[in-house]
Structure 1
């Protein structure tokens, strides 16, 4: 197990970020949050064309490490620092022009939902369960969950999870738009790696990354500003290395 709680590697253009605190359901304490931030920084390098986000062990991520809230050095100021840093790292991940593929299993709860909500494609094991979880310990959402969740699954469904404690099965999460696909539990790692590899090896990898960025930023941008950004990105890609070859191939069909 990583002493920092997060493992990072790059494999032929795929940045592999793996949560590595399986004994506590890969929950985040401050050290793990900072290791995650360092992994996001490392994944921002130009040679990275896709990001794989997984969690080691039986459960993907249980959210914040509740024991660390009340242990030595814990308390309100610790919680504030942990939530602030982790949310900032997730926003930076979301802002990258690099598609993020998450692979989840077992349980996804609390801030673990934020990881899924910041991914672009999510593969889940069939037995995975998804829980809002914050009210079970008398707390409110953090890490941008209150902003992201209703945008992804809709207000009514977000309220159902948040106020009534609705726990979603993998199939329900798929139907609600939280996931991309559901596979056998023992196929999650392989399928996640396969999807990330497909994106990284795409001849249009640059365009895919910029498309990811445009779709994310459109949530917070007025339509005419988003359209102007699209045109600038369109021209950049046209003048880049990948588009001319793909256009030529298209015209020769």
Structure 2
């Protein structure tokens, strides 16, 4: 099995476990992490003994979104290729996978990490979890599938509130809105997430894969076109002076 730097991967067949592992950075994404996630999902997909995937984040957060220090280092920022080459292939692979994927979310789930969680089939949230779309506040636009997943899950008005105002949606409210399947106490999160993933792994594999395909076809028509639009608009946004200034302010904090 491949060795990774920024994620942890384990297989206790029929369950594969994938964990974002930059806890000191609240699991903020890097290009390396995105590429490693894509490779890990590919390995799980190719193993016939794997029947489900459990995705989580090490430490006190699921994920803080893309590491803005990487954007600040780009001159000029070229975010279109970042999405096209690293993030969009990951989202597509997760949605096209035969495997049911369970996200186990605690603490911050922000930006691209929201897209990652919503690309899973079920989301289990601890009470500490909150969902947060900070893009507009740093002069960027939603990506990682957020602009398609959010309005279809919570409706256009709530999605607009999340995306335009950048308010944090706590776990209980996220559950009421339909962003998560179940909210549990943080102490019970790992056990409940494992139990749900194990239940999925025990179901008939062909029926699970076909059902996932049906639900995706009904709920995610246009995903490819939306990912392409996110790529193009994010590339424009990332080159703006407003974005540069906002990221500099964020990093100074």
Specify the TM-score bucket, using the shorter chain as the normaliser.
Answer: 0.7 to 0.9
SS in 1 for 2:212: helix
The structure whose Rg is larger is: 1
Q: Number of residues paired by the alignment?
A: 218
Aligned-CA RMSD value:
1.8
Q: Deviations over 1:162-205 (max 9, x none)?
A: 11222111000000000001111122111111111111123x23
**What residue is the counterpart of 1:206 in the other structure?**
206
> Whole-Å Cα distance in 2 between the matches of residues 221 and 105 of structure 1?
29
**Aligned partner of residue 38 in structure 1, secondary structure:** helix
User: How far apart are the structure 1 equivalents of 2:205 and 2:45?
Assistant: 14
Distance 1:172 1:34 in 2: 32
Taking the aligned partners of 2:184 and 2:174, their CA distance within structure 1 comes to: 13
User: CA offset at residue 75 of structure 1?
Assistant: 4.3
Q: Distance in 2 between matches of 1:3 and 1:13?
A: 21
Partner of 2:81: 81
Q: Deviations over 1:145-173 (max 9, x none)?
A: 11111011111110111112221110000
Could you say which structure has the greater relative contact order, defined with CA pairs below 8 angstroms and 6 or more residues apart?
Answer: 2
CA contact (8 A) 2:148 2:220 kept: no
State the TM-score, normalizing by the size of structure 1: 0.81
Task: Give 5+ residue unaligned stretches, structure 1.
Answer: 223-253
Residue in structure 2 matched with residue 18 of structure 1 by the alignment: 19
Distance 1:206 1:187 in 2: 30
SS in 2 for 1:93: helix
**What's the CA shift for 1:3?**
6.2
Deviations 1:204-239 (A, max 9, x none): 2321221111111223569xxxxxxxxxxxxxxxxx
What TM-score comes out, normalization by structure 2 length? 0.81
Partner SS for 1:62: coil
Aligned partners of 2:58 and 2:20: how far apart in 1?
6
* SS across alignment from 2:102: strand
Q: Deviation at 1:14?
A: 1.1
Instruction: For residue 13 of structure 1, report the CA deviation from its aligned partner.
Output: 1.1
